Every structure is written in structure tokens, then in C-alpha cells.
Structure 1
Amino acid sequence: MTVSTQRIPPQTGAGFELRRGDVLVVIDPQGEQVADLMAFAAEGREEWLSSGRTFDYNETIYLTTGHVLYSNRSRPMFTLLRDDVGQHDFLLTPCSTETFEILYPPGTAEGHPSCFGNLVAAFAPYGIAPDQIPTTLNIFMNVRVDERGRVVIAPPLSRAGQRLELRAEMDLVVGLTACSAEGSNNGTFKPIDYQIIRGQDRG
């Protein structure tokens, strides 16, 4: 079986569809690069990947192999099949123009690509509006929470070629980015690769 690899260039995004049983493989080809992922049910855009439901039902904020990711309607959306890194974030929203205005030096926001903007573009052909995009699963993002609840963003732990594999548990519309925030990617911008292994091709 030959599976093609698609590349998302630095600071851009892509939108695509998955069928139930398909496996999405997200690969960090060069290391220390975050990928923001969001998904909506193909049958209705009112159902989306939910960080709150996922944390609640897994009883942890640190998601890895074997965990199930749930929708806002408490239905399984993905199962994590393989996790080479073991550190991802589902607390923080995708970076936006406002992120750079508020958290970065003055003037940074002007013309700066963002994951939110890239997801808006990726989802537009599917009729998904900007206000429908919630907190994303930030693959490979290294967010630590201290004993006082303070959030610290550290360099990603991912090395070149490491991956996260997610099996779709329903038909989905998916947006995926190569993150645009300097602070999340150790100061550099690199591509993200992905593969789609169709359910009927597995075995």
C-alpha cells in the first residue's frame, strides 16, 4: 500500500475530509513544529471537536495513545492510535491577529499569518464560519501547567519524523495548520506533513 504525503508549508493550513475509519497521520518533518487541528462532523457543522468533553471523559489534560477525543455532543470523533511525542496541548486557542497584538511586541500583528486565519480559509469551502472555530488540538505543542495554574509554553519536544496518528470515528471535515506563532515553535516556522490512510486500505 502506497500512501501519499501532503505538505503544509510554514504558516499555512489545509482543509480536507475524512471518512469513518480513516487514519490521519500528522508528521513533524523537521522537528519542533506545532500543528493546530480542528474537526467538525460532516453531517452537521453544529458538532465539533471539544476540549472540555475530551478532558472530562479522559480525566486528564495530557492526551496520548489510547485516548478518545470527543465532540461537543459527547460522541467519539478520534482515537489516538500512535503518539511518538507524548506532549500536546488542548487548552489554548489557535493564534490569531489578536494573539500577536496582545501577547507579542507592538507591531508584530501587522501582516502576521495566524492559525485562526488559516483555519478560517481552510473551512470556508465547507460553510464553516469564523465564530464556529473553538479551541484547537495543538499537536506537538509543549504547554506546561504549574501548581498555581500558570501556563508556560516551552519548545516542542517533537523531533524530525515523529508523528501522531488519529483514527476518525465519524465522517469529518478537518482543518490542519503549520502553526504561525513564534513562541510555540521555538522561534522558527517549518512545514507540517500529513497522510490519510483510508479505512478500506488498512489491514
Structure 2
Amino acid sequence: MGFPPAAYQPRPGSVIDVDRGFYDRLATGERELLDEFVVPIRSGRAWEVPAGHLCRLITTPEGPQVGDLNVWNRHNPRERMWAARTRQIQSAHVTRYDRLWSTLPYLRPMLTITNDTLESYGVDADGGRVHDLLGSRCDPYVNRILSDEDFDFHCHSNLVRAVLPYGLTEFDVHDVLNVFQLTGLNDEDKYFMKASPARPGDFFEFFAEIDLLVALSTCPAGDLSIPLWGPDARDPLEVCRPIAVEIHRPADGLLDGWQSPESPPYRGLHGIALP
């Protein structure tokens, strides 16, 4: 017995259709390294990725580590990644050729994934997949509920600190893409997390479709091999590792014919009658 078809069915030639040949050329073509840095354990950092550039997140030689990613329009933070709509248009776990979409009223691709060394992981025996949009970031508020303790270095707090230099606040931090994280829904339809399958040198890379502000938290749970909550919980500091980041500019000519996507041309009246 097959599954029902996806609800969101794009018309041929829509912005949902991806020119795979173009993104394959970006993934394999020549490029110039513009910047590189490391996000330390249990911390966060924000940085800019100009439209037409590539950003690569790499697990370091120290081993696997989960990262919580937020994305905004660099010039308008009201336009930011919309996890729920991305789940509907793309999937609950993303990989190469998938896109992260922005909030209403903008609704356009913010970035396109060009490379993912964990793509071959697929679906495991428990239904787990990598790079999920199912769960949100860990935060000190739910931690207080679950453990009755305060902890200041959850992903939410790391992201809050990361975006402060850009004039953003806690209210701008939003639902995340959990990079390198292995998750799924169990037989009770509840969210589960497993140890990340990432290994030294694995990476996740995307192409900026618009000027982006990106923020990443190195999760305080590390590779998720030790539970943060529940009867087996203990401090997972020993499995916390940094994540390296690189920014690249594609070689001249690789972007020929490309332009930043525009928002849908809806007039925005919402049925409101004008005088």
C-alpha cells in the first residue's frame, strides 16, 4: 500500500523546480575562499553570506556535532526562514537541492543546499533522517520545565547572544534547521533524537539566493549521544565539539543567468475593500 501524494504539488517551471545542473556546477566548480572560522562548543556566532556566495558548515576533526541554524534577509530581518512552510514544500529533513523558504509575505527561497556528505544516510531502521526541520532549538525555558534547573547555553540563548551585534533580539530568533542532527517520529508520533552519524570532514553546504544573515549554535548536547533530559540524562560536555565554517565565492561565469528569486506578485489585499 502506497502513501498519499504530497499536498504541495508545484506547477512545472515554478520557483519550486530546481535547476539541478546549475547547482551541481556550483558544487563542483572552482571557487575562492573568502573567510573561515570556527564556532566553539556551546556558543553561537552570526555572519553574513552575500547573495551568490556559498557557505559550508564542516564537522571538525574532533568529531560529530549538531548545529542549530537560523537565517534572515540581511537587510530586512522580518524576512526569515520559515521552517513549517519549508517542511511542506520540501520535506521534514532536507538535503541537496532542497531550499529553505522565507516567511510571509515574502515567501521565496533564501538558500539552496548544494552539497551534503550525509545525503547517503537516507532513512534508518527507526525512521531517523538527518538535517531536520521537525524539532526546534533547545531553550532554557523548556529546560526549566523538564529539569527544574537553569542553564544559559542552550541553542536559543546561544543564538540570542550571536545576533545581538546585528541589532536583533530574542524575538528575532526562530525555529531552526538542525544541521547534522538525526531525528524522527516514534510509534507514539513523538519526536526522537539519536546520535549524529556525522564524521570528521562531513559537511553541509548552501548557496545564498539573497543577501543573508546566518547564525549557528553549537548545541550543548554535542552529538546527541548522551540525553539532556530523562532518567539517563547527564552533562554531555564530553561529546561537545566545535563546527568550522567557510564562505566561498564561485568562479566567474558560474552564476551566468542566475538572479535572486522574487516574492510572489500577490497584491496583498486579503479581501479588504479599498475606498
What TM-score does the superposition give when structure 1 sets the normalisation length?
0.89
The alpha carbon displacement at 1:181 in A equals: 2.6
Query: Per the alignment, do residues 97 and 165 of structure 1 end up closer, same or farther by CA in structure 2, a change over 3 Å counting?
Result: same
Match of 1:47 among 41, 62, 79: 79
Alignment of 1:127-142 (within 5 A): 127-142=167-182
What TM-score does the superposition give when structure 2 sets the normalisation length?
0.67
> Are residue 98 (structure 1) and residue 141 (structure 2) matched?
yes
Query: Per the alignment, do residues 183 and 196 of structure 1 end up closer, same or farther by CA in structure 2, a change over 3 Å counting?
Result: closer
> Are residue 79 (structure 1) and residue 147 (structure 2) matched?
no
| Conserved? CA contact 1:32–1:185, under 8 Å | no
Deviates more, 1:71-80 or 1:87-96: 87-96
Partner residue of 2:53? 22
Partner residue of 2:25? none
| Conserved? CA contact 1:179–1:185, under 8 Å | no
Q: Find the aligned partners of 1:140 and 1:78 in 2 and give their Cα distance.
A: 17
Q: Find the aligned partners of 2:252 and 2:203 in 1 and give their Cα distance.
A: 20
Question: Could you say which structure has the larger radius of gyration?
Answer: 2
Partner residue of 1:66? 97
> Are residue 154 (structure 1) and residue 194 (structure 2) matched?
yes
Query: Per the alignment, do residues 6 and 182 of structure 1 end up closer, same or farther by CA in structure 2, a change over 3 Å counting?
Result: closer
Aligned residue type for 2:65: Q
Alignment of 1:162-181 (within 5 A): 162-181=202-221
The alpha carbon displacement at 1:146 in A equals: 2.7
| Conserved? CA contact 1:34–1:185, under 8 Å | no
> Are residue 88 (structure 1) and residue 120 (structure 2) matched?
no
Deviations 1:3-45 (A, max 9, x none): 5531111101111111101111001113321011101101211
> Are residue 196 (structure 1) and residue 236 (structure 2) matched?
no
Query: Per the alignment, do residues 17 and 200 of structure 1 end up closer, same or farther by CA in structure 2, a change over 3 Å counting?
Result: farther
SS in structure 2 at match of 1:46: strand
SS in structure 1 at match of 2:70: strand
Q: Find the aligned partners of 1:118 and 1:185 in 2 and give their Cα distance.
A: 20
Query: Per the alignment, do residues 202 and 174 of structure 1 end up closer, same or farther by CA in structure 2, a change over 3 Å counting?
Result: farther
The alpha carbon displacement at 1:99 in A equals: 3.2
The alpha carbon displacement at 1:167 in A equals: 0.6
Aligned residue type for 2:220: S
SS in structure 2 at match of 1:198: strand
SS in structure 2 at match of 1:94: coil
Query: Per the alignment, do residues 183 and 82 of structure 1 end up closer, same or farther by CA in structure 2, a change over 3 Å counting?
Result: closer
Aligned residue type for 2:245: Y
Quote the RMSD (CA, aligned, Å): 2.0
- Percent of aligned pairs with the same residue? 27
Deviations 1:82-137 (A, max 9, x none): 1111311212222221232233x443x34x41111111111112121211211111
Query: Per the alignment, do residues 193 and 201 of structure 1 end up closer, same or farther by CA in structure 2, a change over 3 Å counting?
Result: farther
Query: Per the alignment, do residues 134 and 26 of structure 1 end up closer, same or farther by CA in structure 2, a change over 3 Å counting?
Result: same
Aligned residues: 199
Query: Per the alignment, do residues 75 and 97 of structure 1 end up closer, same or farther by CA in structure 2, a change over 3 Å counting?
Result: same
